Amino acid sequence: MPYRSPLTEYQFLFDHVVGFGQVAKSQVFSEATPDTVDAILTEAAKLSETVLAPLQRPGDLHPARLENGVVRCSPGFAEGYRAIVEGGWVAIAANPEFGGLGLPMALTTAVNEMMGSACLSLQLNPLMTQGQIEALEHHASDEIKALYIPKLISGEWCGTMNLTEAQAGSDVGALRSKAEPNGDGSYAVSGQKIYISWGDNDFTENVCHLVLARLPDAPAGVKGISLFMVPKVIPNADGTLGARNTLQVVSLEHKMGLHGSPTAVMQYDGAQGWLIGEPHIGLAAMFTMMNNARLGVGVQGISVAEAAYQHALAYAMGRKQGKTPNGKGVIADHADVRRMLATMKAEVFSARAIALSCAVAIDMAKATGSAEWAARAALLTPINKAFGTDTGIAVADMGIQVHGGMGFIEETGAAQFLRDVRVTAIYEGTNGIQAMDLVSRKMMDNGEAAFRLIEEIEQNAHGVRAQYPNMATAVWNAAESLREATEGLVAQDMNDRFAGAVPYLRAFARVLGSHYHLCAAMAEGVDGPRTALARVAIKRLLPEHVALLAQVREGAAGLYALSDEDLVA
């Protein structure tokens, strides 16, 4: 079925739920007027629906391939990419000094979601470039910025990030790639990197790789890692292209999904590179790109969830089978199918609201310099990444179930959503790592940022108890349970925290999602569809938090009571 961009949802969330108005009122983002926002969303919707969505199936059926060292991309991807860059969509949030639009991350997030719903394999390319632009803006020298950022913004060049090695997955500190000084300010970078999304293509002039490697005097572990810009083609000082660098795509991974996105094994053999940031602290610079990508990857999960929901809904509305309460005979009217559709819709709303709230916090931190807004953004980033991608997987899986046997047949397209989205819970830090980050680094303030957010949820629920007694009371009680669990969590030792990290993050997301649904019902002001959907989220999905928080309180001891031999037996 054709993809339809949910423009009214974005506008409603901006206006009534996530506080976008305060971003638009700030001096930094004063150009994000209602007319500008509407125009950008409308044009991005047209691009997504008419240009990118038709590439979804061809990208799956005709994967990117490696021929004689050259990556050949899926049919139509070159034209789709040109449409993206000609519309300026790569550079919505980039610094105007280098040709970007300087608009809010919240707006970029909505645009990226539409593009990802239309064709996730292709959208991965500009997402990586957006993250690289931000990393260079924050950490590169003025010379590197002036040379690379305008080309990345224009889309003439695109960007990647190279972290993972065969022996160093999540443990980045175990990487072995090295960088030797050339004596002219550049470095010779050698090593092999795996799982490099869009490691090469046949439609941009250059591919710019940010590569983690060790200098000769580097200490062991993560404190000895430096970051280097290693381009496919070495640029001259004026931005024209010079010699081909000594790097290559060794192979492309054979993947479960995202077939249109070439995931490369990259080999660097003394490739010329330039240091980004200070020596030995490259991981901090790379984390700028990774945090940008973590927001983006959470949104990718939502992208697929939206597309899978639309696909399943269309099928359920048209498939006739059996007797139904209203006599229409379509499966959407069967109670269990209606349950699945309502759950899918409610989950997409929750995840989207969390993602946009995270983006708003990023924007407000930039606009105000406020440490509290920065802490809010940091707190929401792992929640968005994990819950957004978990939602994408769950909704895509439910979409197959709605289709019944036809969902297991590739021609319907239902299975592709699940195959494509599954990796999002793994890359940019697995969702378990996101949860561990939430309960460790994000709780280094003893939970202060978390408690501030919980307090806001409780105050909001308390204020509308008269209008929505059942829903408001349920949200307040859940938030109070989350507060108590957080107090207990910060008193635990770290391994106990880690044992309950995933259920804690999911419980937090459950409470947040229900809070945003309650805000939507409040804005509606009548007992309409948003209130009905809020009841689904609050009365049917929110109760899960009780079981999740029970797991958090258990700590790690019970897990280790099972010996290695017990696990094998």
d(CA 558, CA 102): 50
Token look-up 């250059």 returns 206
Q: What does DSSP assign to residue 168? A: B
Determine the Cα angle at 254 with ends 249 and 256, to 5°.
Answer: 140
Q: Return the SS3 of 411.
A: helix
Catalytic residue among 428, 480, 484, 524: 428
CA–CA distances in Å: residue 109 to residues 10, 161, 187, 330: 10, 20, 35, 35
CA–CA distances in Å: residue 307 to residues 3, 55, 80, 114, 301: 7, 14, 18, 9, 10
Q: Return the SS3 of 83.
A: helix
Q: Return the SS3 of 269.
A: strand
d(CA 53, CA 117): 8
Q: Is residue 378 within 8 Å of 449, Cβ to Cβ?
A: yes
Q: Is residue 109 within 8 Å of 295, Cβ to Cβ?
A: yes
The answer to whether 428 is a known catalytic residue is yes
Tokens representing residue 464 in the block = 């509308």
| Of residues 291, 342, 349, the one with CA closest to residue 512 | 349
Residue 110, CA atoms < 13 Å, CB-side half-sphere: 30
Query: Per this entry, what is the length of the chain?
Result: 569
Catalytic residues: 428
